[in-house]
Copies of this chain bind each other. A is one copy, B any other.
Amino acid sequence: MNKTPITSLGEFGLIDHLTRNIKQYDNGTIKGIGDDTAAIDAGDDLILLTKDLLVEGVHFNIMYTPLKHLGYKSIAVNLSDIYAMNGTPTQVIVGIAISSRYTVEALDEIYDGMKLACEKYKVDLVGGDTTSSVSGLFISVTAMGKVPKDKITYRSGAKANDLICVSGNLGGAYAGLLVLEREKEVFKANPQSQPDLNQFAYVLERQLKPEPRKDIVDLLMEKEIVPTSMIDISDGLASEILHICKSSGVGAVIYEEKIPVDVQTATVAHEFKIDPTTFALNGGEDYELLFTINQEDYDKISALEEIAVIGHITENPAQTDLISTSGNVITIRAQGWDSFREDS
């Protein structure tokens, strides 16, 4: 038997490899693997189904992650996938594998965070499985939602000349991660240190307690806009725009100066001597929505503070360009977060 290292394929290559030749048996399956969620026929509506894992030491470091925030985030990142289909989440089901060195109070903290997210987004926690692990904490959440058939937004609907839009701002979650990692090293060197993290409050919250953009989905509904395509930004803008282009068979041009970056994110980027645009393109975990709209809808969104138009779709699938602030043309490549990357 061959022995191919998992790291050799990369996350998306691995998924493509494992899910090749997947057969379908149920007529109700409208969309299987390959979008933010699966979509299943249910009369006028489609049922949406998605799952995200959070693994200790890979997705979070227990040293600086409050367990309540972790529980909250585990729900939030799944709801984000439902919103990315223009849907409404309705139920979640949770699995936790936890080493017996954790206490009941620790599990309570995780559950309290989950319940808080469920309350905020009016989603029902309807079941799950709690079990022990030999070591480490694993959280697996599945979210279910629904969307009217004429409102669903896949990754595949972007068309030439559509406008590329993004909600909120980007790169903050990665800025928060860098600050936390730096403080961890400071703490290791001097456990008596009392860091003042107030100045980083916003980016820390972006990392530790992201909010899925229900408000954007509501806003689009209110403005009677159905995006032509949509995806949530979990792996960074570069990776996500490439997903949309690949699924839709189109290209894209994005303008660096249009990419929304918060001032605190930019401050951290400068402290770390990294270009803030790199945070936005490759940082990931912002859980903002990236979507495309028909140019006709431009007037409906141009005045909305929470939505930025950052570029447009082109006919040429080979073109995925970033026009830099200084006017250079740079090809966008996916360098998003990959849990199997050797250096991650």
Q: Quick one: which of A40, A57, A98 has the most chain B CB within 10 A?
A: A40
Cα separation A57 to B99 with both chains bound (whole Å): 11
Closest partner residue, chain B, to A31 (CB atom): B126
Q: Among B38, B127, B128, which residue has its beta carbon within 8 angstroms of that of A93? A: B38
Closest partner residue, chain B, to A59 (CB atom): B131
Q: Check if A52 is an interface residue, CB within 8 A of chain B.
A: yes
Can you list, as one digit per residue, whether each of A91-131 has a CB less than 8 Å from chain B (1) or not (0)? Answer: 10111011010111101100100010011001111111111
Q: Check if A51 is an interface residue, CB within 8 A of chain B.
A: yes
Q: Check if A188 is an interface residue, CB within 8 A of chain B.
A: no
- What is the oligomeric copy number? 2
Q: Quick one: which of A32, A38, A108 has the most chain B CB within 10 A?
A: A38
Can you list, as one digit per residue, whether each of A122-149 has a CB less than 8 Å from chain B (1) or not (0)? Answer: 1111111111111110101010100000
Q: Check if A273 is an interface residue, CB within 8 A of chain B.
A: no
Contact indicator B26/A132 (Cβ below 8 Å): no
| Selected interface stretch from A17-25, A198-206, A222-230 | A17-25
Cα separation A133 to B136 with both chains bound (whole Å): 9
A-side interface mostly: mixed
Contact indicator B91/A33 (Cβ below 8 Å): no
Interface size of A as a range: 35 or more
| Selected interface stretch from A5-13, A210-218, A236-244 | A5-13
In angstroms, how far is the closest chain B Cβ from the Cβ of A85? 12
Contact indicator A24/B132 (Cβ below 8 Å): no
Given that A8-B104, A53-B140, A97-B53 are known contacts, is A133 also in contact with B58, CB under 8 Å in the complex?
Answer: yes
Q: Check if A257 is an interface residue, CB within 8 A of chain B.
A: no
Q: Among B17, B49, B130, B342, which residue has its beta carbon within 8 angstroms of that of A14? A: B130
Contact indicator A3/B103 (Cβ below 8 Å): yes
Closest partner residue, chain B, to A35 (CB atom): B127
Q: Check if A29 is an interface residue, CB within 8 A of chain B.
A: yes
Cα separation A51 to B125 with both chains bound (whole Å): 12
Q: Quick one: which of A24, A140, A342 has the most chain B CB within 10 A?
A: A140
Subset of 19 A-B contacts with CB under 8 Å? A2-B104, A4-B104, A6-B100, A6-B104, A18-B111, A21-B115, A26-B124, A37-B127, A38-B93, A38-B126, A49-B91, A51-B129, A53-B97, A55-B134, A55-B138, A57-B134, A131-B340, A138-B138, A142-B142
Instruction: Write the residues of chain A forming the contact surface with B, with a CB cutoff of 8 angstroms.
Output: 1-9, 11, 14-15, 17-19, 21-26, 28-29, 31-33, 37-38, 40, 42-43, 47, 49-53, 55-59, 90-91, 93-95, 97-98, 100, 102-105, 107-108, 111, 115, 118-119, 122-136, 138, 140, 142, 144, 339-340, 342
